[in-house]
Amino acid sequence: MKKISYILSFALALSVGFTSCKKDIKEINKNNPGQFSDSDPTLMISGAQLANVLVNEGEAARLAGIFSGHHVGWDRQFVSYNDYVMTAGDFNTPWGNLYTEGIAQCRIIRAKAAKANNKQLNAVACITEANLLLTASALWGDIPDSEACTEGISSPKFDKMSDVHMHAIALLDSALSYGANHANFSGAYVGNHNWAQVANTLKARAYLRMKDYTKASAAATSGIAAGKDLLADHSQATPGAWNLYYDFLDWNRAGYISASGSHMQKLLDSSSFFRNNAKTDESDRYAYYFLEDYYTPLDPNIDNGIFAATNNFAIVSYVENQLILAECAIRNSDFNAALTHLNNVRADNATNIGGQYDAYVSADFGPGQMVPGTDANEAIKKEILVEKYTSLYGQIEPWCDLRRTNNLIGVVPNKGTKLPQRFLVPQEEINANKNAPAAGDLFAPLELFP
Amino acid sequence: MRFKHLLIAISASSFAPSAFAQASGPGGSPGSDTIDVGTVTVTAIGTTKNVRKIGYAVSQVQGKGLVSSGESGVIQALTGKASNVQITRSTGDPGSGAYIQIRGQNTITGSNQPLIVVDGIPVSNSSLGGGVDGVVQQSRLNDLNPSDIESVEVLKGAAAAAVWGTRAANGVIVITTKKGKRGMSIEFSSTYAIDQVNREYEKQGTFGQGAGGRWVANNANSWGDRIALRSGSDSINAAGARFVADDGTVYGTIVRKGDRTVYNDKNREQVFRNGITWNNNLSISSGNDKSNMFFSLSDWNQQGIMKGLSDYRRTTARLNFTQNINDKLTVGLNASMAKIISNRVQMGSNLDGLYLGYLRTAPDFDNSDHKGTYYSAAGVPKFNAHRGYRRYLGDAAPTYNNPGWTLNEQTNTSDVSRFILTPEVTYKWRENQKLIARLGHDMSTDRRITYFPVNSAANQANGAFTDDNIQESESSLHFINQGNHKLSSDINLNTTFGYLYTYKNFYNIGGTASQFIIRDQDRFAFINSTTENKDPFNSFSELINNRVYGILDFDIKDKIFLQLTGASEASSTYADRFFSPSASLAYELTKDVKPSNLLSYAKLRLSAGRVGVAPPAYIWNTNYVAAGSSSGWGDYLDGSLYGGSIYRSSTQGNPDIKPEMKTETEIGADLKFFKNKLSLGFTYYQNKIEGAVLAIAVANSTGYANQWKNAADLSNKGFEVDMNLSLIKSDNFNLNLYGNLGTNRNMVDNLNGAAPIFLAGFTGTSSRAVEGHAMGALWGGKFAKDENGKMILDADGFPTASAEEGVIGDPNPSWRGSVGLNGNYKNLNFNLLVETCQGNQMWAGTYGVLNNFGVTPETATEFTVSAADAANIVDYRGVTLATAAAAGANGLASVNADGSITARGSLKDFGSGNVWLNQYWYTSLGGGFGSVAEQFIKDASWTRIRELSLSYALPKSWSDAVHIPGGISVGFTGRNLALWTKFEGLDPETNLTGVSNGRGLDYFNNPGTKSYLFNIKFNL
C-alpha cells in the first residue's frame, strides 16, 4: 500500500513539474520564434523598392500595356482583359503591393531614418514613396495619400490626383534637400544611377502629367543623364530575381500576352505605320522587342531581347527624361531644342539597340517630309510621342501620355471607340474602406487626363 | 464452445441497428436481445455513462459499422451514420483526407474540425496542406485502423463537450478502442477491393486542336478543324525534327494534319485503372478476472484508380492491456503505431497536375508515349524529353503535363510514422472514490517529397524538389477523481473533478531545390542545385493549455438527471482564464406516465453550455517578415535575393485577443413507440458564436492587408432526427429501417464592418465569409444587370460583366439525410444505406474552363441557318456568320450547297435576338477564364447508395471441416454504387482546397471513386 502512495506522490510531483508556473504559459506564445519583432530601416528599404519594381514592371504594367496597345491579351483571362472586360477584383493585387509593401514601408523607414538622422536613407525613402504615389495616381487617379498608412485611420480618404502629384513633388524636393547626390540604399536596383537625377526626372514626369511644361523642363534639366538609368536588377538567373515579363511570359503564364497585332507591332513592322525612312531603320529594335512564333505568332522578346530573364528593366530612364525635355520644348514652341533632345534619344537607340537612327534636321519634318505632319511643329510633337511610346516598351508611362494627349498618336482601341482611361477601384478597397468611391467606369477620364 | 458463442454474438451484432448511429435513446433497440451496446455511452473525458441519464444529444457509431463501410479512414467511414455530421472527402485519391463538420461552422479562419479524443486523450486530426494546387493530403485521424475501434461517440453540442472548453466548439468525437474480452479469440480477416472512377467528364470528338476553326499544332484549344473532313493521315516532313519515344515509336514534324482518329478513349485508358486494395487484419483478444488484452495487426495496401504512382499503404499495430493488481489498483496501457507510405498525384490549378493536362488535351491528340528523345532537324538529341499536346515533339517542356508524365515521372510521397501511447492508473482510494491518472502522448512525423524531373511543365521545367519534414506531438496529463455520494434515499450524486494539462508542438523543416545541375538522373538531394536555387525553410510552434473542471451528476428518483459542469482553463494564446459552464437535464417521462402500447418510452432533454475557440498562437504582435512581392500570377521578387530585406508584415497583431465564445442551447426528446418497435430522437439546437478570431481584411491603403481581431459573430440553428423501426423480427428473419436527417442554418451575423473574408479559392472565384450569408459563401463576378434584374447587353446582344463582384452561391446544404435497411435472414446479414445531401451549390470551375478550351460537348454542337439569317447573326467579336463562313475555316462555319450556313457552336437569345456562341464567346466572357463566375455556380445536390453490404456465416460443418473452429464468414460491400446528381463530370462530394474552411470549389480536382469489396473472415 505504501508503495502505491509513493507512486501517486511521484505522479503528483511529476505533474507539478510538467505544468510549472503560470508565467511560462503567458510567455511561450508572445513572440513568434520564426519572425522578428522589429527591423532596421536600412534593411527595409530594398523591400519597398521591390514593391515599386513589381508594380512598375509587373501586373499593373501588363494591364497598362494592354490598354495602351503595347500588348495583346492572348490567352485565358487576358482575352477578356484585351476586350476591356475587367472587374474591380482584377486590380486588388497591385493596389496591395503599392500600399502594404511599398508606401507603408517607406513611411516607417522615413520616420526611423529621421529619428536616426540618416538623411541619405530618408532621401531614398522619399524618392521611393514618390515613385509609388506617382504610379498609383497615374493608374487610379484619386487615391488615399494624406490619411494612408496612418495608425488609427481605418478608412483613409481619397485625395485628388493633382494633390497626390503635388505631395509626390514635395517628397522629391525633400529628398533633394536631404542631399540625394549618391547611389546608396539601392538594393533593388543596379547600374550607375544617381538619386538626385532620379528625383528630378520623377519630378519632371509629375509636372508633365500636370501639363506644367516649364517646371517639367526645369526639373528634367537636372534629370537622368545618359547611362544613368534607374534599372531594376534582374542580373541573377533565378526565380524571384528574374525580369518579371520573362517570369510571367515564359515561366508562369506562357502565351497569355502576345505582341501579335499590337499597335507596337504595327509601328515597327512593315505595316501601315511603318517608321523606317532614309534615316531610320527599326529592324534591330523589332528583333530586340519581338520574337516570332514562340508561344504566339509574335511574342514580346523574352528569349534574347528586352524582356529576357536577366535583362534589367528601366524604372526611370535617360530616354524618358530627354523626351520630356523634347515635348516641353515643342509645347513651348522651341523647335530646335525639341529636335536636339529627340536626336539625343535616337543616338541612344543606335548605341544601345543598334539599327539606324541618324540625326534628323528641321527640314525632315512637315508635309511630305520624312516625318510627315500638318506642319513641322505638329510633326515633331507626334514623333516625340511616338518615340516615347516606342522607347518605353512595357512601361506604364506611355499609357499616361496617350490619356494626357487625348491619344494624339492614334492608338486604335481593341473594342469600342475609346481607350481605357483608368484602373477600377479595387474590390478589396471598396469592401473595407468606407471612404472608397464605387469601382467606377474604365472609360471615365481622370482629373489630370481629361 | 466458447468460440461458437462468440461467433454468434459477432455475426448477430455486426449489422444490428446498434451498429449504426442512434440518438441518445435508452439503447434498448429493437434487437436488444443482441448485445445491447447502446445502454452505455462514453463521455467527453473517456468515462462511461448510461445513455438514459444523458440530457444532450449524442450519436454513437459501433466499430462494426465503420468496418463494413469499406473505407480506409475512420472519418469517411462515419459518413451517413449520424445526423448533422457532414463528412466531405477531399478527393478519391487513396488515403485522402476528409472534412468533418458537426452542426455547421463555428469559426471563420480557425479550425472547424472537431476535437478527437481517443481512449481519453486528445489526438491530432490535422490535415496539413490543401491549397488550390499540389496534392491532396491525408487526415491524421485516418491513421487509426477502423477494425481496432469499439465505438465512436459524436458529441455535438456545447453541453456535451464543455469540459474541453476552448477545444470543444466544433464538437468532440470520442473514440474508444477495443479491450480484450473474457476468454480468447483470434480473428483474421482479409478483404480484396476494387475501386473505379465514379464519374467522368465527357469530351467532344468532332473538332480538332487549334483555333479559329483551323488545326494549329501545340495550341491550347480544341477550337480547330472538323476532324471528319481530314485527308486520313498526317503529312510528315521526313527531314524535320522528331520525337522518338522510349519504345521506339517515332513522331515526326507534321506539315499538314490529316489523321482522323479521335483519341479520347485511348487517352482515358492512359489515366484510369481499377484500383486494387488488399486489407488484412489480425486480432487477438483474451481476458480473465485479472487482466485483459487486445492485440491487432493490420495492413491496408491500396493502389489508386489513377494509373501510376497513386497508392496508400497503412500498417498498424496495437496492444491494449489492462491488469487489476488488486481490488483497488488497476494499471493499463493502450499503445498503437502506424506506418503510412503513400504516393500522391498532383492536381488542381496546376500545370503539372493530372486532370488539368488530361482534360484539356485535344480530342485528336494521342497522349501515349509521354517520354522519349527529341531530335532536332539537324539530328541533335535532347534526352528525357516530355511530349504533350502543347509540345508534340517534346522540343521543350510542354505548357501542360502529359498525364502520363504526371502519373509516372513525378514523385509525391508521404511517409508517416504515428505513435499513440496512453498509460493509465486507476486507484480506488475509498469505496466510493476513485482516482484515474492518465498520460497521453501522440506523435507523428510526416516526410513529404515533391519531385518534378527536368522537362515537367511550365515553371518546373528545369526540375524542382522539395523535402518537407513535419513533426507534430501532443502530450497530456489527466487526473480524474470520480466519487459517488448518496445524498438521500431519492438523490444520488456522482462527482467528477479533473485536471488536464496539454502541451502541443509542431515542427517543420525542409527545403526546396530547383534548376537542377544534373538533368537526367532523379535524386532527392539538394546537391543537384546551385546555392541561389536552394531554399531552406523551417517553422515551429508550441501551445500549452491547462484546465480544471468539475462535473456534478444528480440522479433524482431515477427519473430526473441533472448534470452541471464547469471548466476553467488557461492557455498560452490568450491572456485571461476562460470559463465554460454547462447544464443538462434529462427527464424520463415514462416513469411518471405509464407506458402504453403506443408510447413505450419517453425522455425529454434540455441543455445549455458555453465553449470556445482558442485564438491561434503568435498573433499578439505585428511581425517583421522577409520582404517579397508577387503579382498573383506566379511572377515575384524575393527580397532574400536582393541582399535580404526584413520589413513590417502586412498583418497587424493584437495583444487583446480573446477566445471566441460559443453558447448553445439544445432541446430534444427520445421516444419509443409500439412496444419499442419504433424509436425516434429529436433535437433542436441554436448557438451563437461571438468574437470569432480572424485576420480581417482591412483597406490596403491603411498599410495593412489584415488585422487580427475578435471580429465576427456567427450563429447556427438546426434540427436533427434519428429513427429506427423494426419491421420484421423473428428467429430467422430480422429487418430494420433506420435513418437520420439533419438541417443546419449557418449565418455570419456580423463582421463588424470588415470586408468579406477570403477563405479559399482564386482571385476570380472564392469561398468567403460574408456578412448576412452562410459561411463559405461563393464569391465572384456577375453579369451586369439593370435595376429590374434584366441583363445589360452590349450592342451585339451579348451580356456584359458587372464591375463589382458579389455572392454568387452557397456551398452549404439545406439538409442532409440518410435512410437504410438492415437485418438478417438466417446466416445472411445485409445492410443498405442511401444518403442524400440537398441544396448545396458548387463552383464548376473545371467545366467552365473546359468550355474555354472547346473540349466539352456543349461547345461542339452544330447548327444551320439560312443565308439571310447568317448575314445578321454575329459572334462575340461582332463578326457575322456569313463573314465567318466566307473565311473558309471548316471548324468555324462553312457554306452548304444550298447557300445555308452550318457553324460550330449554338444560337442563344440573351434578350435582343439570337447571337452565335462560339470560340470567341467561350474564350472570353462566356468561359471559365472570363470574369463572370456566376454562370458556373451549379446545384451540387446528390443522392447516392453509400453502402450495400452482405455477409454470410458459412455453415459450421464447413468450417469444422477445414479446422476453423470459430467459423468462417464471407462478405461483400459495395460503396458508392450509384450516384444521382445534376453536377456534371465529377462526384460533387469533393473540395479543391481539402480540409479548409473554404468549401464548394472544383477546379481539376482528382475524381471520386466507387468500390466493390470482398471479405473473408476466420475465427480461430
C-alpha span between B840 and B939 (Å, rounded): 6
The beta-carbon neighbor of A48 closest among B329, B647, B781 is: B647
Length of chain B: 1020
Which stretches of B404-487 are assigned E, i.e. beta strand?
Answer: 411-430, 433-452, 464-486
Percent of chain B with pLDDT over 70: 96
Concatenating the DSSP letter of every residue in A218-252 gives HHHHTSPPTT--EEE---S-STTTS-HHHIIIIII
Would the CB atoms of B702 and A85 count as touching at under 8 Å? Answer: no
Q: A261 vs chain B: nearest CA distance in angstroms?
A: 15
Task: With beta carbons less than 8 A apart as the criterion, state whether B578 and B72 touch.
Answer: no
What is the C-alpha separation between A137 and A98, in angstroms, rounded? 11
What would the pLDDT profile of A148-182 be if each residue is shown by its tens digit? Answer: 999 999 999 999 999 999 999 999 999 999 999 99
Rounded to whole angstroms, how far apart are CA atoms A128 and A134?
10
**Spatial CB neighbours of B677, under 8 Å, sequence gap ≥ 6:** B30, B725, B726
Query: CB of A205 within 8 A of CB of A324?
Result: yes
d(CA B179, CA B149): 9
Interface test with A, best of B512, B701, B752, B850 (most A CBs within 10 A): B701
Tell me the C-alpha distance between B255 and B259, whole Å.
12
**B856: helix, coil or strand?**
coil
Model confidence over A423-445: pLDDT tens digits? 999 999 998 999 999 999 999 99
Q: Mean pLDDT of successive 10-residue segments in chain A (450 residues)?
A: 53 50 68 89 97 98 98 92 92 97 98 97 98 98 98 96 98 97 96 97 98 98 97 94 96 93 91 82 95 91 96 98 98 97 97 95 95 95 97 98 97 94 95 93 96
Beta-carbon contacts of B294 under 8 Å, excluding residues fewer than 6 positions away, are B148, B177, B178, B179, B180, B283, B284, B285, B318, B319, B320, B321
Is residue A23 exposed (0-12), middle (13-18) or buried (19+ Cβ within 10 Å)? Answer: exposed
Burial per residue of A341-352, b for 16 or more beta-carbon CB atoms within 10 angstroms, e otherwise: bbbbbbebbbee
Nearest CA to B443 among B140, B168, B176? B140
SS3 percent helix, strand, coil of chain A, rounded to 5, is 55, 5, 40
Pick among B439, B647, B766 to test the A interface (most A CBs inside 10 A): B647
Instruction: Judge whether A314 and A131 are in contact, CB under 8 Å.
Output: no
Rounded to a whole number of angstroms, the distance from the CA of B223 to the nearest CA of chain A is 13
Helical axes A318-331 vs A376-391, angle rounded to 10°: 160
Query: Does the CA dihedral B455-B461-B465-B470 come out positive or negative?
Result: negative
Q: Would you state the pLDDT for residue B111?
A: 85
Determine which of A53, A62, A78, A80 to mutate to test the interface with B (most B C-beta atoms within 10 Å): A80
Name the residue ranges covered by the structural domains of chain A: 44-212
* H/E stretch holding A18: helix A2-19
Residue B257: count other Cβ atoms within 10 Å of its Cβ: 22
pLDDT digits (tens, 9 = 90+) for B948-1007: 999 999 999 998 998 888 899 999 999 999 999 999 999 999 888 877 888 999 999 889
Coil/strand/helix, residue B805: coil
Check: complex ipTM more than 0.90: yes
Q: Which helix (H) or strand (E) holds A10?
A: helix A2-19
Q: Do A439 and B697 touch (CB under 8 A)?
A: no
The pLDDT of residue B310 is 96
Whether A239 and B636 lie within 8 Å, measured CB to CB: yes
Handedness of CA A154, A155, A160, A161 (dihedral sign): positive
Residue A424 grid coordinates: 477600377
Catalogue all structural domains in chain B, each as residue range(s) with its CATH number.
Answer: 2-186 (2.170.130.10), 845-938 (no CATH)
| CATH number, domain A44-212, options 3.40.1410.10, 1.10.3720.10, 1.25.40.390, 3.40.120.10 | 1.25.40.390
pLDDT digits (tens, 9 = 90+) for B354-385: 999 999 999 999 999 999 999 999 999 999 99
- Find all residues with CB under 8 Å of A316, minimum gap 6, and list them: A131, A198, A201, A202, A205, A224, A229, A230
pLDDT in tens, B751-761: 887 778 889 99
A191 touches chain B (CB under 8 A): no
Q: E strand or H helix at B869, and its extent?
A: helix B867-870
Q: Which residues contact B679 (CB under 8 A, 6 or more apart)?
A: B22, B25, B29, B30, B601, B670, B671, B672, B673, B723, B724, B725
Taking CA B637 as the corner, what is the angle to CA B531 and CA B515, rounded to the nearest 5 degrees? 35
**Residue B931 contacts by C-beta under 8 Å, 6 or more apart in sequence?**
A77, A80, A85, A86, A87, A90, B764, B781, B801, B925
A282 at B interface, C-beta within 8 A:
no
Closest to B844 (Cα-Cα) out of B998, B632, B987: B987
The verdict on a CB contact (< 8 Å) between A432 and B755 is yes
Report angle CA B898, B903, B908 to the nearest 5 degrees: 115
Question: Is residue B3 scored above 70 in pLDDT?
Answer: no
Residue B288 CA to residue B324 CA, distance in Å, equals 10
Report percent pLDDT > 90 for chain A.
85
Q: Is A162 on the interface with B (CB under 8 A)?
A: no
Convert the pLDDT of each residue in B781-808 to its tens digit: 999 999 999 999 999 999 999 988 999 9
Per-residue confidence band for B9, with pLDDT thresholds at 50, 70 and 90: very low
| Residue B708, phi then psi, degrees to nearest 5 | -70, 130
- Reported confidence tier of residue B23, pLDDT bands at 50, 70, 90: very low
Q: Does A173 touch chain B (CB under 8 A)?
A: no
Q: Which of B452, B455, B402, B94 has the alpha carbon at shortest distance from B266?
A: B402
- The whole-angstrom separation of Cα B63 and Cα A256 is 54
Kindly report the backbone phi and psi dihedral angles of residue B801, in degrees, each rounded to the nearest multiple of 5, phi listed first: -90, 140
Mean pLDDT of B930-944: 95
Q: What is the mean pLDDT of residues B217-237?
A: 95
Residue where the block lists cell 468567403: B768
Q: What is the mean pLDDT of residues B428-455?
A: 96
Q: Tell me whether residues B701 and A429 touch, CB distance under 8 A.
A: yes
Phi and psi torsions of B586, nearest 5°: -120, 135
Q: Which residues in chain A (375-394) have CB-CB distances under 8 A to chain B?
A: none
Residues in CB range of A343: below 8 A, 6 or more apart: A359, A360
B765 and B843 in contact (C-beta within 8 Å)? Answer: yes
Chain B residues whose CB is inside 8 A of the A87 CB are: 781, 801-805, 931
**Could you say which residues from 125 to 144 on chain A have a Cβ atom under 8 Å away from some Cβ of chain B?**
143-144
Rg (CA), chain B: 31
Q: Which residues of B933-951 are buried (b: 16+ CB within 10 A; e: fewer)?
A: bbbbbbbbbbbbbbbbbbb
Query: What gap in Å lies between CA A238 and CA A251, rounded to an integer?
Result: 11
- Between CA A284 and CA A279 the distance in angstroms is 14
State how beta strands B706-729 and B651-652 pair.
parallel
Whether B458 sits inside 8 A of A153 (CB atoms) is no
Cβ contact B726:B701 at 8 Å:
no
Report the C-alpha gap between A84 and B803 in whole angstroms.
Answer: 11
Write out pLDDT tens, residues B490-534.
999 999 999 999 999 999 999 999 999 999 899 999 999 999 899
Is B621's CB within 8 Å of A32's CB?
Answer: yes
Outline where A269-375 has alpha helix (H). 283-289, 318-331, 335-352
Give the three cell numbers for residue B559. Answer: 427519473
Choose among A75, A63, A191, A52: nearest CA to A130.
A52
Contacts of A30 in chain B (CB under 8 A): 620-621
Please name the amino acid found at residue A90: D
Separation CA A120–CA A106 (nearest Å): 13
Q: Please list the residues that pair with B499 across neighbouring strands.
A: B479, B548
Number of H helices, E strands in chain B: 12, 56
Nearest CA in chain A to B852: A76
pTM across the whole model: 0.85
B781 contacts on A by Cβ (under 8 Å): 87, 89
Kindly state whether A444 is in contact with chain B, defined as any CB-CB distance less than 8 angstroms.
Answer: no
pLDDT at B26: 34
Residue B929, classed as helix, strand or coil, is coil
What Å distances lie between residue A415 and A83, A425, B722, CA to CA? 6, 21, 60
Contact B1002, B88 (CB under 8 A): no
